[in-house]
Amino acid sequence: MAKVPSAVVAAGGLVGGYGVARWTKKRQLGGAVLAVAGAAAARQWRDRAGGPAACALTAAYVAAFAGSHPLAKKVGAWPAVFGVAGAVGLASWAVADRRG
């Protein structure tokens, strides 16, 4: 069975976490989706690119989540989420997925 690329897991976690929080009106549930996807992506990053790269990509994932909030005030919620998800997905692909 083919593995899902870590870029898809990370970007999907950001988009899915926001979507779940918005549609269920339960921020904790969205946070759980965000955390589970982040942990799954971090494990893939560590396995594919090593510990230092996994730490850097995890920091980027958390920074994207935090940065989407002020960005949403300027461009709107969904554009902000898609923008940061794309950035994290691209970084993940470049560092971990491109090699394999």
Cβ–Cβ < 8 Å for 55, 63? no
Residue pLDDT, tens place only, 45-95: 999 999 999 999 999 999 999 999 999 999 999 999 999 999 999 999 999
**CA–CA gap between residue 80 and residue 70 (Å, rounded):** 9
> Which are the contacts of 68, defined by CB distance < 8 A and separation ≥ 6?
14, 18, 80, 81, 83, 84
Residue pLDDT, tens place only, 23-35: 999 999 999 999 9
Cβ–Cβ < 8 Å for 72, 82? no
Residue 71 three-state SS: helix
